[in-house]
Structure 1
Amino acid sequence: MNKKNAFSISIAGGGSTYTPEIILMLLENLDRFPIRKIIFYDNDYERQKLVADACEIILRERAPEIEFLSTTNPKDGFTDIDFVMAHIRVGKYEMREKDEKIPLEHGIVGQETCGPGGIAYGLRSITGVVELIDYMEEYSPNAWMLNYSNPASIVAEGVRVLRPDSKVLNICDMPIDIEERMAVIAGLESRKDMTVRYYGLNHFGWWDDIRDKDGNDLMPVIKKYVLENGYNLELLNKEVRLNDPDWLDTYRFAKEVYRLDTETLPTTYFKYYLFSDYAVKHTDKNYTRANQVMDGREKRVFDECSTIVEKNTAKETNLEIGVHASYIVDLARALAFNTHERMLLIVENKGAICGVDPTAMVEIPCIVGANGPEPLSIGEIPTFQRGLIQQQLAVEKLAVEAYVEESYQKLWQALTLSRTMGDADLAKVILDELIEANIDYWPNLK
């Protein structure tokens, strides 16, 4: 490999359970995206060390020419970098558990990116992501950040307000996973055999046109399947996490959401916004998704990393490439090689969706090249979708305004306006409990 034509990458959130699968994907794509150096950066030394030690063995066995460094020092973590791949979780799963359980105790949806819990997580994430941007711009000002830290909409809005000129692209893997399912339903080999029109906010959008490369309309066959099965397609559940009952129910429930508007195909998260009573009823408030992940994915990945380190080899590893990792490589290639690939990104609206605030951070198809994304025009959208977008957008903008202005009032308004919340007094009770839980993370609201 010619190192002069290869790239240097910093993975911010090196201790994440998703980091090993990103490494595996990068290694699988070295012929398309050559790498000279990989740096892990995390502010949690112990958590990162286990993952880093395992990944160092993987790299040694599969690509010994790649320089590797694991660090908690920002200067070392962000110097001489072409791309930062950021997937941080501020507060880790312990805080996610509080995000979920505090609302659920009051009969309100407790979910990672939706409702009060999503807002709480968003306010923590803004601080962490902006810190990473500042490190990148100080030590590698020409680098791009590919950010897939959740909740993506609030984080993207926070970055738009606080670091408007930064070279940051906000992305999400959920539409990609659903499009892979759609491709299988339509009898295609890959989602890349489809051209899609999609619009909305992150975890809050719809497909209104899907065609194969010959222009044939695939919507009828996909709609027919979704009406009967949702997006449940067990043969595609390659990742272990996608086979648990919670995910299977979420995919299946998409058929109920679809019935609300049979002209479009929805994302799965509308289960929480439009059928919140169902979501609460079918969630164990004492053992939420955070507990499932800590006892499942987190334990599984860390145990596997420990096994690799103990055996000093990864030749028989059970670690797998995840659905979102491939999208990151495609995006990095588009920027590096000016491929002009069509991709879904979270970008400023600027008139792409008619009737929606031009400053809204919307999720739409873009053509991506060396200069970044060029958003495609969506035009007019139906009243139902526009109304939902306007309401959720107001929630996200109020949350970010509350963060910037340290405003208790605006955060109370944000929680009250969420479709998951029906009562302002209850929103205040939940807000006060979230403030107490996030005392070490949130601004001091006044």
Structure 2
Amino acid sequence: MKLAVVGGGSTYTPELIDGFARLRDTLPIEELVLVDPAADRLELVGGLARRIFAKQGHPGRIVTTSDVDAGVADADAVLLQLRVGGQAARNQDETWPLECGCVGQETTGAGGLAKALRTVPVVLDIAERVRRTNPNAWIIDFTNPVGIVTRALLQAGHKAVGLCNVAIGFQRKFAKLLDVAPGEVHLDHVGLNHLTWETGVRLGGPEGADILPKLLAEHGDAVAEDLRMPRAVVDRLGVVPSYYLRYYYQHDAVVEELRTKPSRAAEVAEMEKQLLAMYGDPSLDEKPELLAKRGGAFYSEAAVDLAASLLGNGGSPYQVVNTVNNGTLPFLPDDAVIEVQAAVDGSGARPLPVPQLDPLYAGLIANVTAYEDLALRAAVHGGRERVFKALLAHPLVGQYAYAEQLTDSLVAHNREHLAWA
């Protein structure tokens, strides 16, 4: 089995490597190729990756290359975890929207749109290269904004599934609170990427009894603290919103908070310097503790599980993924990409049925789906007017004057990444 990781020079890759090593019986990789244009980072990450495999007794071979075509050739699955423009572009995404009082965040709002515009053309080019070398390969997208990127891949006819770590993070946290094994916890997880709610928590599978009311009654304070939301909000909803819902439910408070501290990108950039220095130590043969603060917790476990199922090597029968709606949420277009529990196997991901949603959630999902459709058009076809319309449609922007100002700022800060600008 051959896997390729595009963006393999990321400082987060050792977390993925550690998961591949620990879970080698679930996903028996014979060759792992790390692909990245940053040769200096790739050398450091690749060296640590080989030492992790060696320490844990993994027999697989790790190859590094800057050649995308060579790296993905004959791969059974290709994982995408790239960041076009690096942390410098992310820092811009998180700062210039604040100038007009809008949330600055790398995956939602104006910053999320900027990331989509930079990312979609690059991902589609990589996917075409994969299709030319191996049309049967699965593409697993962990590149944000996952929903828009996955929709771009699917609309272009690629075999793709999107992956986010929000659901597995909730699963692990709930399991710890309930003192059960993580595999026992099944989430009724519904929405769009970074716009989801846990409407039920079941033990043993999708047919298990819903214990969410009991979980909130006994552990509501812990859940709310993790979300950084007031306990009253969680109690009134009766569900567990993703922490990304803070940007919607507490927009103005979050903007003020973001204005008073360094951007997350600045924090991560400093962390990456420290991590790369550690990775260069030839005695280091395990992921350092500092990596846990980098983000993306449990991504490796989710990636292994998904790849194993898609490649017919076992894996959990039900997983939370980003995949085509196809009538699951009847108020959305069939080709929308949703994030829900799905049955996953070698034929792909098929969403499980979702009960009728409260308008409180369905309305916001429909609104953001419309934005994502406009954002994808802007990413594929370009043009200032398409960018403006996408921003005007986004519920975190929504005002004509803001959309105008943000469009100008977005283009000015991203001109080098936009072929049409």
Provide TM-score, normalisation by structure 1: 0.87
Q: Which runs of 5+ in 1 are unaligned?
A: 1-6, 233-247
Rounded to whole Å, the distance in 1 between the matches of 2:324 and 2:18 is 32
Query: 1:104 touches 1:285 (CA, 8 Å); kept in 2?
Result: no
What is the correspondence of 1:143-292 to structure 2 with a 5 Å cutoff?
Answer: 143-161=137-155, 163=156, 165-190=157-182, 192-213=183-204, 215-225=208-218, 227-232=220-225, 251-253=227-229, 255=231, 257-259=233-235, 261-262=237-238, 264-284=239-259, 287-292=262-267
- The alignment status of 1:33 with 2:7, answered yes or no, reads no
Tell me, in whole angstroms, the C-alpha distance in 1 between the residues paired with 2:194 and 2:308. Answer: 25
Tell me the alpha carbon deviations over residues 420-444 of structure 1, each in whole angstroms, 9 at most, x when there is no partner.
2252112211211110111121241
By how many angstroms is 1:277 displaced? 0.2
The separation in 2 between residues aligned to 1:34 and 1:421, in whole angstroms, is 46
- Measured against aligned partners, the alpha-carbon deviations of 1:273-301 in whole angstroms (never above 9, x if no partner) come to 221101111113661110111122x1332
Give yes or no for contact 2:187–2:198 (8 Å, CA) kept in 1. Answer: yes
Name 1:240's counterpart in structure 2.
none
What's 1:333 paired with? 308
Q: Name 2:326's counterpart in structure 1.
A: 350
Deviation of residue 18 (structure 1)? 1.3
Matching residue's letter, 1:168 = A
**Partner residue of 1:55?**
49
Alpha-carbon distance in 2 for matches of 1:335, 1:254: 39
2-side partners of 1:444 and 1:286: how far apart? 34
Range with greater deviation from structure 2 (117-126 or 57-66)? 57-66
Q: State the one-letter code of the partner of 2:173.
A: R
**CA distance 1:420–1:320, shift in 2 (3 Å):** closer
SS at match of 2:37: coil
Distance between the aligned counterparts of 1:203 and 1:442, measured in 2? 25
**Is contact 2:391-2:398 (8 Å) kept?**
no
Q: Report the Cα distance in structure 2 between the residues aligned to 1:437 and 1:317, rounded to whole angstroms.
A: 34
* Residue deviations 1:101-123 (CA, integer Å, cap 9, x gap): 11012221001111000111111
Does structure 1 residue 133 correspond to structure 2 residue 132? no
SS in 1 for 2:375: helix
State whether residues 42 and 71 of structure 1, in contact with CA within 8 Å, keep that contact through their aligned partners in structure 2.
yes
Query: What amino acid does structure 1 have at the position aligned with 2:249?
Result: L
Instruction: Give, in whole Å, the separation in 1 of the partners of 2:287 and 2:269.
Output: 24
TM-superposition CA deviations, 1:196-227 (whole Å, max 9, x none) = 22211011011222111283331112222564
Distance 1:222 1:211 in 2: 10
Match 2:405 to one of 429, 433, 441: 429
Question: Which amino acid letter does the alignment assign opposite residue 391 of structure 1?
Answer: N
Match of 1:237 in 2: none
Instruction: Indicate the percent of aligned positions where both proteins have the same amino acid.
Output: 27
1:80 corresponds, among 67, 74, 77, to 74
Of residues 261, 264, 285, the one that matches 1:314 is: 285
Equivalences for 1:340-419 in 2 at 5 Å? 341-419=317-395
Pairing partner for 1:438 from 411, 414, 417: 414
**Cα deviation digits, residues 89-136 of structure 1 (max 9, x gap):** 111100000001110122210011110001111111112221221121
Structure 1 residues 195, 315: closer, same or farther in 2, change over 3 A? Answer: closer
